[in-house]
Amino acid sequence: MGTEKADPEELAALREAFGEREGASPLGWAGVREFEEAHGVVLPEPYRTLVAEIADGSFQGPPEYGWAGLAESAEGQRLAEPFPLTGMWVWEEDPDAVIEGVARDGSLNLGTDGCGMDWHLVVTGPERGRVWLVTGEGAMPHSGPGFADWVRQWAAGEEWFSGQ
């Protein structure tokens, strides 16, 4: 997984997954750069190229209730702050500020599987480019190394997380 340059094989898989699905039109490169400048981040690849050239959201997922477009994904998020986790975490008696940081800092909220299970793409910090499941009970990384693998597993109907 590269987060700085789109891998041609990953882009081909994303085009196959989203090219013919019902979804939002891509933003174009000017739209992506404007978003990045406004939020003080550079989006990780291949997500960056996906929203610029292929689609900016999908009504058919992933996740279960659809993949949110870039502007919606960023609502209420503090993208320039680093994502605070590097491994699975269960909320216990952590202060609300810590829990809020996990849900809002350094990640785009891609969408939900329902019941408070939201998928986030980390855009800032050591986990940049990785997809995480954030729930009311805790957070865990997706079993694959990046966004393209998350989409591939969804398209293949495979298990989405490993509990690492």
Residue 88 belongs to a domain: yes
- Residue 38: the pLDDT is 97
Please report where in the chains the tokens 């269960």 appear, as a residue.
90
Structure tokens at 52: 């610029």
Residue 161 lies in a domain: no
When divided into structural domains, the chain yields a total of 1
Instruction: Kindly state whether residue 73 falls inside one of the protein's structural domains.
Output: yes
- 122 in a structural domain: yes
Rounded to an integer, what distance in angstroms lies between the CA atom of residue 153 and that of residue 48? 19
| Predicted pLDDT of residue 164 | 39
> Which pLDDT tens digit goes with each residue over 106-141?
999 999 988 889 999 999 999 999 999 999 889 999
Task: In whole angstroms, give the CA distance from residue 109 to residue 71.
Answer: 10
| Assigned domain for 143 exists | yes
Read off φ and ψ for residue 51, nearest 5 degrees.
Answer: -75, -25
Q: Is residue 130 a contact partner of residue 122, using CB atoms and an 8 Å limit?
A: yes
Total residues found in the chain within this entry: 164
Range of the domain at 76: 8-156
3-state class of 14 per DSSP?
Answer: helix
Q: Is position 111 within any domain?
A: yes
CATH code of the domain covering residue 62: 3.40.1580
pTM, two decimal places: 0.90
Structure tokens at 6: 């789109």
Is 55 domain-assigned? Answer: yes
- The one-letter code for the residue type at 81 is E
The answer to whether position 13 is within a domain reads yes
pLDDT number for residue 160: 57
